[in-house]
Amino acid sequence: MCKVTEAVSSGGKVQVRKHCKVISAILIPVMLVWAAVSAFAQGGDQMGLTTYYFSDSGENSVITTSFNLAKKLLAQTVFLIDIELDQVTVPAVTAVTGATRPQRRKNEPFEKSRGQVIVGVEQGLGLNTTFAGNFYRSQEIDYTSTSVIGTLSQDFFEKNTTVTVRGQYNADDVGKITDPGDIISNKKKVFTGSLIVTQLLSPTTVLDVNYDIMHMKGFLSDPYRQVNVDSFGVKFSRDELHPDYRIRHAGTAKISQLIPSIKAALIGSYRYYFDTWKVRSSTMELKFNKYVVDDLIFSVDYRYYTQMAAYFRSDRYGVDYLNGGYKTADYKLKSFNSNNFGFSLTWLMRGLAKNNPDLEFLQNSSVEVMYFRYFNDLDFSADILQAGLKFSI
């Protein structure tokens, strides 16, 4: 166990101050790296700085700032780095929210920061083959994830077909902040494999077919969720308990159609999922992108989702579940249907760069605003707003 260093005084002032220190400790180096790299960035390099804000009607919010760089070292060698900081706010337990959080100081908003770093190298192996190796580290006060990722891509038939194979290993520490302020951690390991085939069907039509398999082992519950148990009329709560083993499969097909006559694109996809917990799901999505004017893109997106429940999911848990029986409070393991509809506006700043040489750095930059309405048949709905700002060179 380790002691929480982000103690909260009455009113939450100490917590906010300490989170600000965490933000400064990560965000200031990101800005310094951006400034330093800008000074020697050369043609062929790609660099971006992105920030966006997310909120929903449940009073959950996330502020994300990220920096990424693809630096060309040799003719076929590219160095990759991505640094990201999330500032997450989850409302008091009394508020309506789909997020989980500690019960400690449950009448106050819970805030935490998450830092993420990805470092890697992409190496060309001839004209048609590319290998990428990445190391990933993500850390927050009660969750740590470390992973290695390997990706191999091969082009065929004059680059009309691309086959990509990816493998990933994650070692996670799943923590729980207890009422006294300690953190109790459990281990989780995840092995992921992916096969992706991209086929150019015509000059304006692209087909993508993906298959993913994920092997999960260890602590697969949420340490903060509790299940209501009714034992002979006596009602009380217990921590949820999921099986410590799960294999997940997913297959996806997506087709993207460019419509040059109206400067638009139509994208349709279908995904089928199943796992060893007997969850089955289907996802259908349709997206339409359209240039309103030269530098303004309007997008409409609709997604329908339906799934079957996990085999151990129950509306009522009794005495049979007290001694090791699997039980869950995760609504995502119920049987339900959901709808997600939204639209977005993306403004490309290249027009400013074209008309003003001093703003040439905005050539690949953009501003995006998105609104989504989510609702399901479990009597849950949310209004989701995102705004993003991206600078690239």
Cα distance between residue 221 and residue 174, in whole Å: 9
CA 310 from chain centre, in angstroms, equals 23
Q: What is the pTM of this model?
A: 0.84
- pLDDT, position 5: 36
Q: What is the pLDDT of residue 22?
A: 39
Q: What is the pLDDT of residue 94?
A: 42
Quote the tokens at residue 8. 């909260």
With a CB cutoff of 8 Å and minimum separation 6, the contacts of 31 are none
Provide CB contacts within 8 A for 61, sequence distance 6+.
53, 54, 55, 88, 89
104-108, 187-191, 204-208, 228-232: which range is least confident on average?
Answer: 104-108
Backbone φ and ψ of 42, nearest 5°: -120, 170
Query: What is the H or E stretch that residue 10 is in?
Result: none
Q: What is the mean pLDDT of residues 179-200?
A: 94
pLDDT, average across residues 46-61:
83
- pLDDT at 58 (0 to 100): 73
Q: How far apart are the C-alpha atoms of 153 and 376, rounded to whole Å?
A: 38
- Give 35's pLDDT tier (boundaries 50, 70, 90): low
3-state secondary structure of 51: strand
pLDDT bucket at 323, cuts 50 / 70 / 90: low
Domain segments of the chain: what residues?
A: 1-224
C-alpha span between 328 and 311 (Å, rounded): 11
**pLDDT band, very low/low/confident/very high, at 148 (cuts 50, 70, 90):** very high
Q: Is 41 exposed, middle or buried, given 0-12, 13-18 or 19+ CB atoms closer than 10 A?
A: middle
pLDDT in tens, 369-383: 999 999 999 988 999
